[in-house]
Amino acid sequence: MNNYTNDNTARRYKAHVSIYGTTQLHLKNPYIIAWWSAAFPGFGHMLLSKYLRGYVLFIWEVVVNVKAHVNSSMIYSFQGNIDMAKEVLDTRWLLMYIPVYIFGIWDSYRTTVDLNKVYLLAEREEHQFNSFSLGALEINYLDKRNPFLSVMWSLFIPGLGQLYIHRILTAFFVIIWLVVFYYYSHVQEAVVLLFLGKVKEATSVIKPAWLLFIPSHYGFAVYDSYINTIENNKLFEKDLRNHLTKNYQSKSFQILKGQKVK
């Protein structure tokens, strides 16, 4: 496959392949993206490949959530201890938390709607994009990957599925924060104690406020790797089809609608 570069000769491109990963436009459901932003601010934007905005919102969520004791309050609420849930909240941090949380949901929804429109315009323009990137640090190229393997590796360790499909920036970010969540929640210590049959010790060592971050982290890693594997496969097939049509198909070849080939 030829190596093209996005040289800004077109108004819009559907995709860009670099040593850091494959970034592409494709139709997304705004409600699903907004839901991921509600589940964890920053995830919706990362699904849109808006990495800088997503990283800022993600880090904001972790820092302010911990300072405001939002997760701790949620745990007390689940236990039916509403008075303690109110008491543990730090309103100084909470009043900063709520507006940014709402903004993340609204902005991811709005951006999804806009990017869907951009994708439709880029699809009509059908400008060639680079499909192979060779650099001193990495090699990246369009090819087909197995979505099942993406999910499997993400379930083992979040971030490995992204490494499998060469989403380097997301992979590093997810893996680094997984280590942070593991460390402060003491979940791995608790697992070892459970294997040893020490249930009370395992329960006492765990930090629930940090533990609540982990399910969303796993869910995002699985969903992101699965969806992007499928979309990358579609992009590869279409790029290959266009390449073969342009370079190998006879110009006189026609498909006549409504006529049977004898």
The values of phi and psi at residue 22, to 5°, are -105, 120
pLDDT at 108 over 50: yes
How many residues are there in the chain?
A: 262
Give the pLDDT mean for 195-223: 93
pLDDT at 205 over 70: yes
d(CA 47, CA 50): 7
The pLDDT of residue 2 is: 44
- Report yes or no: 140 and 163 within 8 Å, Cβ to Cβ: no
The pLDDT of residue 79 is: 84
Distances (CA, A) of 106 to 25, 113, 135, 209: 20, 11, 37, 26
pLDDT at 101 over 50: yes
Pick from 98, 93, 42: nearest CA to 69: 93
- Dihedral of the alpha carbons of 247, 121, 18, 21, in degrees to the nearest 10: -120
d(CA 122, CA 105): 26
Contacts of residue 73, defined as CB under 8 A and 6 or more positions apart, other chains included, come to: 85, 86, 88, 89
pLDDT at 46 over 90: yes
The pLDDT of residue 5 is: 55
The pLDDT of residue 57 is: 97
- Report yes or no: 235 and 123 within 8 Å, Cβ to Cβ: no
Give the pLDDT mean for 2-12: 59
Q: How would residue 6 be classed by pLDDT, with cut points 50, 70 and 90?
A: low
3-state secondary structure of 140: strand
